[in-house]
Amino acid sequence: MTDRVDTPQTDVAVSSTVPETGPDNRIVVENLNIYYSDFLAVKDVDMVIEPRSVTALIGPSGCGKSTFIRSLNRMHEVIDGAHVKGSVYVDGEDLYGPGVDPVAVRRKVGMVFQRPNPFPTMSIADNVLAGKRLNSKRINKSDAEDLVEKSLRGANLWEEVKDRLDKPGSGLSGGQQQRLCIARAIAVEPEILLMDEPCSALDPISTLAIEQLMNELKSTYTIVIVTHNMQQAARVSSRTAFFTIDGTGQPGYVVEMDDTDVMFSNPKQQSTIDYVTGRFG
Amino acid sequence: MTLTEERPAPADTASSITADRLGRGPQLAVVFAAVVLGALSWAAEGQPNWARWIIVSLVAYCVGIYVVSRWVEGPRRGLDRFMAAIVTSAFLLVAMPLMSLVWTVIERGTNRFDTEFFTETMRGVVGEGGGIYHAVVGTLIVTGLATVMSVPFGLFTAIYLAEYGHGTRLAKAIQSMVDVMTGIPSIVAGLFAYAFFELLFGPGTRSGIAGAVALTVLMTPVIVRSAEEMLRLVPNELREASYALGVPKWKTIVKVVLPTAIAGIITGVVLAIARVIGETAPLLVTVGLAQGVNWNPFDGRMTTLPVYTYYQYVQPGIPPEAGQDRAWSAALVLIIIVMALFTAARILSTVLKPKGLR
Amino acid sequence: MTITDSPPSGDTAAAPTEKTSKLGDRVFSGISLGAGILILVTLAAVALFLFVEAWPTFGADVSEFDGSDTFLQYVAPLLFGTIWAAFLALLLALPLAVAVALFVSHYAPKRVAQSLGYFIDLLAAIPSVVFGIWGIAVLAPILSRSVYPWLEDNLGFLPFFAGPASTSGRTMMTAAVVLAVMILPIITAISREVFLQTPRLHEEASLALGATKWEMIKQAVLPYGRSGVISGAMLGLGRALGETMAVAIILSPADIITVNVISNQNPNTIASNIALKFPESSGLEVNRLIATGLVLFFVTFLVNALARRVANTGFSGADG
């Protein structure tokens, strides 16, 4: 199913309006408008994100991609006055429904940030367990060790750090720190993993390592990644959404969303073509 | 690769993202119950005991909100609400003595806020009457002298540290010693000034200038610290532009760097004055107390406002109420002066800031 | 230092400019250097002068003093009282200060928080003599009426509350409470600064893992701020050690060493003792008082040096 825009660029993709209880971890975004107090930052987003796949969000700076992805785990509202209108359905449950606890949402939907941020006062092992410790009263030692190993293996970091699990997390290289953050995120066993420009602070070798990791992770998790790097989007994702903005002070919006190879070889909208061929952005 | 084996059972249900939340109504009910419980704690005595009321209510609220929230929302949310209650209670608890102090000084201090108080001295006064005229004069003279001595002292030291002595060992030593100076107890500074003048002029000397020396020891490190910081904030580009025009270094400092930093420096000086104007201990040992006005800082004792306050309270004479009234009024004057200085510093720092800098 | 390719407009000759500027530079830098050196001289002078004044105490015959104590016997209870009072004040002030700092940095509404911060700074400037008269006039009666009898009745088996409970309230505990209120603003101000500096990135990392607000504070804010809080606490301790007037006004002193905090017999502090005795003292008494001042100088010097050490080295979490 593709989300195609038939109307001029000021309008947005129209897709299924009925949230389907389909396969697990499918995300259905419906009529989402994101506000900072009174300012509309992102408008009228409708999209479906298929489970166990990698979906890339591309677009020029400031068009709301980060704002949008942060609304998927309700991190957006951490800022004073920030709120949304609309719905985000995961497994048929609206994340913004009444009675929903944002804290519980964030356990289900994990996030990796642009700059690696392992807790500096904790060891590598403690970093991995940080999220798990919040949710369970006591993890006995062997369970903890198993979880640390599993998560670090899952993040392709185990071999490199297995001999120094009690050293601080800040002693690693940038790429290793980012993989540590990924290990920390998957240790709480989320269903969805959000990545906000995870490689923009890393060197090319580390970037490659993370991209390979994404390829392995997608068989377990639904991954949404924001990236400035179109080549990266082309490499890792199966579906891509293009965001843009008409000018400063205007809200960002989705222009087009399609299979990745279509988006980069034969997109439908003119502004997509312009962006993808490098004419602006 | 899935992580499904040996997953420890999580405390809350893994797949549900909804949770019972404590509504506004129940929260307010807990507040109300706590307040009532607090009222009950003094009810038997008939008269409201504010301190006990507030304390008991706060404790009751903290415990109550924890129990209720934990029951409805679960242990993690319960702890979260409990800590929020604790932190807020701490704030209110701390506000109590401070409010009490301000209230007491205002209430009791306004008793003697009359013209006589500001124009009379204590010469010949045993009971009623009397005023702080001589104390105000003394404070102005001693603090004024201290400012005159400590501002150039502190400013030039700061200039050395910021402009000349970058990274040298001497500069590092001076910075450490400035740190040490900020930690000198005020009474020790007073003893030093006393010793200084005694060894130079003989024992038993009390004089305004000795007090000024003691205050200088206390003020200078404060001025050095803030002035140095202000000078460092001046962008290097300004200095380089001046050098490129052929202006010598000392003129650059005087004509370019100092005027740019002047707002912060003045603020630092005003704050240093605010800090020492209420100092009692060093003046007690160096300047002493006098009954009337003494305009000569180089000869003899002089009354200053904080020392006056102290003696009027602990040696009030007969009747004691008269002395204590004078003490409270003097305390009120002190607080007003300190607040005024603080506000002035605030205003100056915004008004004097050169446009376009930061 | 001066680049005189094209002299400043109006000047024609480079040479006179250079000469006067060189002189000006030399004078000016000389004055600045002098001021800096004067700092070192002053500090040396403080130590030296105090020592010279104190010296006669150590050699003097015991009988020349009132009370016939050796210096050690004289200063021991005072030193104990100084440290004990400051310790109690820190015990009361530190948890409250950290809680208030957290309140201002993370819990209070943003608009209010800045004014609160300013207000706390203002409170740090209230003169100690004012705290002293408030303590004896308002706090002491309240405590002696409501708290001390209760403590004696219910916890009197502990040596701290053995009593007999003072009716005037002029006790070590009252003094410690007032001291705590006095040092609280400085600890709060430093802690608040440090809590506000917690990198947003770490706070968000915690929240994104599904932490509640308190859990985030435990995970990201407190570990980051730990060394700052400790340094603030030591600074507060230093203040409390040197505090004179509040203790002098409130405490009812006696020449004993005791941990009983609610009775009328309390060890005095060095500073308060000096304030009480100095105005009427003469001769060798003065020397002895100054000698105790020297002891106080050492103690505060040590505490402040420790605070500086912690502030400089203990900066965990400075990166990232």
Closest chain B C-alpha to A278 CA, distance in angstroms: 37
In chain B, what percentage of residues exceed pLDDT 90? 41
Q: Is the Cβ–Cβ distance between A157 and A176 less than 8 Å?
A: yes
Pairwise CB contact (< 8 Å): B249 & C245: no
Instruction: Give the tokens for residue B32.
Output: 């109300």
| pLDDT at B142 (0 to 100) | 94
**Do C77 and C22 fall within a single domain?**
no
**Do C160 and C276 fall within a single domain?**
yes
Question: Which residues have C-beta within 8 Å of that of residue B53, sequence separation ≥ 6?
Answer: B38, B39, B41, B42
Backbone angles phi, psi at B238, to 5 degrees: -65, -45
Cβ under 8 Å to B: C residues 30-89: 31-40, 42-43, 45-46, 49-50, 52-53
Instruction: Give the tokens for residue B99.
Output: 């409010």
B82, C123, C186, C201 from C113: Cα distances, Å: 21, 15, 17, 21
Q: What's the mean pLDDT in C23-34? A: 90
| pLDDT at C199 (0 to 100) | 92
Q: Is the Cβ–Cβ distance between B277 and B341 less than 8 Å?
A: yes
Q: Is the Cβ–Cβ distance between B100 and B54 less than 8 Å?
A: no
**Do C36 and C101 fall within a single domain?**
no
Q: Which residues of C touch A107 (CB under 8 A)?
A: 209-210
The residues pairing with A192 across neighbouring beta strands, listed in sequence order, are A109, A222
Domain ranges of chain B: 24-111, 119-351
What's the CA gap between B287 and C34, in Å, rounded? 29
Helix (H, G, I), strand (E, B) or coil at C267: strand
The predicted model scores a pTM of: 0.83
Per the structure, the complete domain to which residue C82 belongs is given by 64-313
| pLDDT at C101 (0 to 100) | 94
In a domain, C195, yes or no: yes
**Do C44 and C156 fall within a single domain?**
no
**Do C118 and C254 fall within a single domain?**
yes
| pLDDT at A14 (0 to 100) | 40
Q: Is B200 on the interface with A (CB under 8 A)?
A: no
- Chain segment A92-126, per-residue pLDDT in tens: 889 998 888 888 899 889 999 999 989 988 899 99
In a domain, C318, yes or no: no
Query: What is the number of domains present in chain C?
Result: 2
Closest chain A C-alpha to B5 CA, distance in angstroms: 10
Pairwise CB contact (< 8 Å): A143 & B6: yes
Nearest chain C residue to B325, by CA? C133
**Do C90 and C160 fall within a single domain?**
yes
Q: Which residues of B touch A89 (CB under 8 A)?
A: none
B153, B248, C19, C254 from C24: Cα distances, Å: 19, 8, 9, 60
Q: Among partner residues B100, B199, B327, which is closest to C133 by beta-carbon distance?
A: B327
**Do C52 and C143 fall within a single domain?**
no
| pLDDT at C3 (0 to 100) | 46
Q: Is C8 on the interface with A (CB under 8 A)?
A: no
ipTM passes above 0.90: no
Q: What's the mean pLDDT in A73-88? A: 90
DSSP letters, chain A, are --B---S-TTS------SPP--STT-EEEEEEEEEETTEEEEEEEEEEE-SSSEEEEE-STTSSHHHHHHHTTT-GGGSTTEEEEEEEEETTEETTSTTB-HHHHHHHEEEE-SS----TTSBHHHHHHHHHHHHSS---HHHHHHHHHHHHHHTT-HHHHTT-TTSBGGGS-HHHHHHHHHHHHHHT--SEEEEESTTTTS-HHHHHHHHHHHHHHTTTSEEEEE-S-HHHHHHH-SEEEEEEESSTTSPEEEEEEEEHHHHHHS-SSHHHHHHHTTS--
DSSP letters, B250-296, are HHHIIIIIHHHHHHHHHHHHHHHHHHHTT--HHHHHHT---SS----
Pairwise CB contact (< 8 Å): A119 & C223: yes
Q: Is the Cβ–Cβ distance between A91 and A109 less than 8 Å?
A: no
Res B215 pLDDT > 80? yes
Q: Among partner residues A108, A136, A220, which is closest to B11 by beta-carbon distance?
A: A136
Cβ under 8 Å to B: A residues 220-239: 220
Q: Is B246 on the interface with C (CB under 8 A)?
A: yes
Provide the mean pLDDT of chain C: 85
pLDDT, greater one: B154 or A135: B154
CB pairs under 8 A between B and C: 278
| pLDDT at A137 (0 to 100) | 66
Cβ under 8 Å to A: C residues 263-302: none
Which domains does chain A carry?
A: 27-117+194-276 (3.40.50.300)
A151, B91, C113, C143, C230 from C117: Cα distances, Å: 43, 12, 6, 29, 19
The dihedral sign for the CA sequence C244, C245, C247, C253:
positive
In a domain, C194, yes or no: yes
Pairwise CB contact (< 8 Å): A146 & B6: yes
Q: Is B48 on the interface with C (CB under 8 A)?
A: no
B105: pLDDT confidence band, cut at 50, 70 and 90? very high
Instruction: Give the tokens for residue B174.
Output: 């001076």
Terminal C-alpha separation, chain B: 53
Q: What's the mean pLDDT in A226-254? A: 91
How many Cα atoms occupy the beta-carbon half-sphere of C42 within 13 Å?
A: 26
- The DSSP call for residue B120 is -
The dihedral sign for the CA sequence B62, B68, B74, B75:
positive
pLDDT, greater one: C312 or B246: B246
Q: Which residues of A touch B21 (CB under 8 A)?
A: 99, 101
| Residue to substitute from C107, C203, C206, C209, interface A, most A β-carbons within 10 A | C209
C103: pLDDT confidence band, cut at 50, 70 and 90? very high
Question: Which residues have C-beta within 8 Å of that of residue A141, sequence separation ≥ 6?
Answer: none
Q: What's the mean pLDDT in C50-61? A: 82
Closest chain C C-alpha to A75 CA, distance in angstroms: 7
A142, B127, B339, C156 from B326: Cα distances, Å: 72, 10, 20, 39
Closest chain C C-alpha to A271 CA, distance in angstroms: 33
B111: pLDDT confidence band, cut at 50, 70 and 90? confident
- Chain segment C236-259, per-residue pLDDT in tens: 999 999 999 999 999 988 888 888
Q: Is A4 on the interface with B (CB under 8 A)?
A: no
Pairwise CB contact (< 8 Å): C107 & B87: yes
In a domain, C268, yes or no: yes
Chains that touch B (3 or more CB pairs under 8 A): A, C
Q: Which residues of A touch C316 (CB under 8 A)?
A: 120-121
Last residue of a domain, one of C42, C59, C76: C59
**Of the segments B35-49, B236-250, C95-109, C147-161, which one has the largest average pLDDT value?**
C95-109
Nearest chain A residue to C224, by CA? A121
Distance of CA C89 to the CA centre of its chain: 11
| pLDDT at A3 (0 to 100) | 45
Cβ under 8 Å to B: A residues 41-80: none
Q: Is B24 on the interface with A (CB under 8 A)?
A: no
Q: Is the Cβ–Cβ distance between C139 and C178 less than 8 Å?
A: yes
Chains that touch C (3 or more CB pairs under 8 A): A, B
Decide if domain B119-351 falls under CATH 3.30.1950.10: no
Pairwise CB contact (< 8 Å): A135 & B12: yes
C309: pLDDT confidence band, cut at 50, 70 and 90? confident
- Chain segment B156-172, per-residue pLDDT in tens: 999 999 988 888 899 99
Nearest alpha carbon to residue B216 among C271, C39, C122, C286: C39
In which region does residue C13 sit, left (phi positive, over 0), alpha (psi from -120 to 50) or beta (all else)? beta
**Pairing of the two strands A82-90 and A93-94:** antiparallel
| pLDDT at C5 (0 to 100) | 46
What's the CA gap between C137 and B101, in Å, rounded? 10
Res B268 pLDDT > 60? yes
Q: To which H or E segment does residue B88 belong?
A: helix B75-109
Q: In which residue are the tokens 């991954």 written? A: A223
Q: Which residues of B touch C43 (CB under 8 A)?
A: 177, 180-181
Pairwise CB contact (< 8 Å): C224 & A106: no
What's the CA gap between B279 and B305, in Å, rounded? 9
**Do C303 and C197 fall within a single domain?**
yes
C305: pLDDT confidence band, cut at 50, 70 and 90? confident
Q: Which residues of A touch C211 (CB under 8 A)?
A: 103, 131, 134
For chain C, percent helix, then strand, then coil, each to nearest 5? 75, 0, 25
Q: Is the peptide bond before B319 cis (omega within 30 degrees of 0)?
A: yes
Q: What's the mean pLDDT in B30-55? A: 84
Nearest chain C residue to B276, by CA? C127
Pairwise CB contact (< 8 Å): A143 & B19: no
Closest chain C C-alpha to B318 CA, distance in angstroms: 18
Q: Is the Cβ–Cβ distance between C231 and C94 less than 8 Å?
A: no
What's the CA gap between B168 and B57, in Å, rounded? 58
| pLDDT at B6 (0 to 100) | 39
Cβ under 8 Å to A: B residues 29-88: 76-77
- Chain segment C108-128, per-residue pLDDT in tens: 988 888 888 778 777 888 999
Q: What's the mean pLDDT in B296-308? A: 89
- Chain segment B127-148, per-residue pLDDT in tens: 788 888 889 999 999 999 999 9
| pLDDT at B283 (0 to 100) | 94
Nearest alpha carbon to residue C180 among C90, C47, C279: C90
What's the CA gap between A144 and A164, in Å, rounded? 16
**Do C144 and C292 fall within a single domain?**
yes
**Do C120 and C207 fall within a single domain?**
yes
A28, B82, B159, C158 from C36: Cα distances, Å: 69, 52, 9, 53
Give the amino acid at C251: L
Res C8 pLDDT > 50? no
Q: In which residue are the tokens 């356990």 written? A: A107
**Do C108 and C236 fall within a single domain?**
yes
Q: Is A111 on the interface with C (CB under 8 A)?
A: yes
Instruction: Give the tokens for residue B342.
Output: 């603080």
A12: pLDDT confidence band, cut at 50, 70 and 90? very low
The residues pairing with A223 across neighbouring beta strands, listed in sequence order, are A54, A193
| pLDDT at B126 (0 to 100) | 77
Q: Is A150 on the interface with B (CB under 8 A)?
A: yes
Helix (H, G, I), strand (E, B) or coil at B195: helix
pLDDT, greater one: A137 or A89: A89
DSSP letters, B201-243, are H-TT--BHHHHHHHHHHHHHHHHHHHHHHHHHHS-HHHHHHHH
Pairwise CB contact (< 8 Å): A118 & C219: no
C180: pLDDT confidence band, cut at 50, 70 and 90? very high
Count other C-beta atoms under 10 Å from residue B13's C-beta. 11
Q: Which residues of B touch A216 (CB under 8 A)?
A: 1
Pairwise CB contact (< 8 Å): A170 & C320: yes
| pLDDT at B294 (0 to 100) | 86
Instruction: Give the tokens for residue A108.
Output: 């289900």
What's the CA gap between B152 and B147, in Å, rounded? 9
Pairwise CB contact (< 8 Å): A75 & C210: no
Angle between helices C14-59 and C284-313 (to 10 degrees): 120
| pLDDT at C4 (0 to 100) | 46
**Do C305 and C199 fall within a single domain?**
yes
Q: Is the Cβ–Cβ distance between A231 and A260 less than 8 Å?
A: no
| pLDDT at C314 (0 to 100) | 58
- Chain segment B167-213, per-residue pLDDT in tens: 889 999 999 999 899 989 999 999 999 999 888 887 767 888 999 99
* Burial grade of A81 (CB within 10 A; 0-12, 13-18, 19 or more): exposed
What's the CA gap between C244 and A48, in Å, rounded? 71
Nearest alpha carbon to residue C148 among C131, C163, C133: C163
In a domain, C5, yes or no: no
Cα C17–C23–C24 angle (5° rounding)?
Answer: 85
A10: pLDDT confidence band, cut at 50, 70 and 90? very low
Q: Is the Cβ–Cβ distance between A71 and A226 less than 8 Å?
A: no
Q: What's the mean pLDDT in B315-320? A: 85
Q: Is the Cβ–Cβ distance between C173 and C142 less than 8 Å?
A: no
Q: Among partner residues B1, B2, B10, which is closest to A136 by beta-carbon distance?
A: B10
Res B342 pLDDT > 90? no
| pLDDT at C319 (0 to 100) | 37
Q: Which residues of B touch A155 (CB under 8 A)?
A: none
Provide the mean pLDDT of chain A: 86
